Amino acid sequence: MTELQMSLMAIGGTIVVGVISYNKWQEYKARKSVQRAFSSEHDDVLMNPPPGVAEGRQEPSLAPDALADAELPPEGTTASDEQIEKLVEAPQKELPVDDLIDCLISLTLQSPLRGEKILPKLQTLRHVGNKPVHFIGQREDGNWEPVVHGGQYFALFAGVQLANRSGALNEIEYSELITGLRQIADEMDADLDVPDMGDVMSRARALHQFVAEYDAQLSVNVQSKGAPWAINTLLAALERQGFDLRPDGRLVMPDGEGGVLFSLSTNVTLAAETTSRLTLLLDVPRVAPARDGFGAMTACARMLASRLDGVVVDDGNQPLTDPTLAEIAEQVAAFYQHMESANIPAGSTRAMRLFS
């Protein structure tokens, strides 16, 4: 069993899926942020909504998920350890291939090639199944970058993602990849170093096991105490609070940098006129702990319940108590620590790719 498998599998199976907030201090911070967003001179948020939530929320910046932080792949990847070490250690911008979550395959060029000569050949192999395939090239100065027009490259790496939410890279997909790479290598007069299929499949299954165990979708609900809410009025008010209405009918709270902090569902079809229940949902592995997604979602739910004459409940329609939230907060902390220990921090580039 490889070191990657051991590190991923050893931390699995202990996380209880369910979370509403961090701890009291974090919840207080988030509540103050949402209060600023929902504050109004009038009590009825649907009649006179205040400025957007984004105005009062502070968005912490995430440290870049650099390839330099990656673990070396186990034996069985095509590139030699020496090649990988040079790639990992070289100071350069973030690359679209990652030795922890991709199978890296080297193509040794007999002579340097221009990017415009390489790119048309690579366009034929961008996915195998639903797993993305990326290419990078080594410039004359030794640094690596995505292959672009105008560049001159002395070596290439192909990287196929080993797993995502839909499953692990399988034998058929891998065979399709190697067939495509062989054709590309022949056209470029390059040597292809093919890794052992068994080793690659083992890595892919271990990585997908991690994805399956940490694929946490966490929700909290706001249930009306009386009459249902009018959808048209409700949606308009929620949009004014900072939620974005997507074409599929989902409402999402932006994180301020192009991502999603959490989403909201009305639990009815677009044709419905009323709803009695709202569900706020957090895609845990895709939101960094520093963004305080749990606290922000909980504070938003409580504020909605207060303004709309509702109550915050779990999926079984039971009111969420402070002791319950405190217990869940401990599980959340462990969840994030384990993801960090696996070198796949929540909200990082790696996590965004794996949990897609």
Please report the domains of the chain, with CATH numbers, ordered by start residue: 3-63+215-354 (3.30.1400.10), 77-195 (3.30.1400)
| Nearest CA-CA partner of 55 in 41, 67, 38, 71 | 38
Give one DSSP letter per residue of 86-152, joined into a string.
HHHHS-----S--TTTEEEEEEEEEEEEEHHHHHHHHTT-SEETTEEEEEEEE-TTS-EEE--TT-E
Give residue 24's pLDDT: 38
Q: How many Å apart are CA 352 and CA 356, to the nearest integer?
A: 6
Q: Which residues, in sequence order, are bridge partners of residue 311? A: 223
Give residue 87's pLDDT: 56
Q: Would you state the structure tokens that stand for residue 336, as one six-digit string?
A: 């994030």
The dihedral formed by the CA atoms of 93, 94, 99 and 104, expressed in degrees to the nearest 10: -80
Looking at the whole model, is its pTM more than 0.85? Answer: no
Helices assigned H by DSSP within the chain: 3-9, 24-38, 81-89, 115-122, 171-188, 197-213, 231-240, 293-308, 322-341, 349-354
Give residue 249's pLDDT: 73
5-16 tens-digit pLDDT: 454 444 443 333
Residue spans of the chain under pLDDT 50 = 1, 5, 7-78, 88, 90-92
Give residue 82's pLDDT: 60
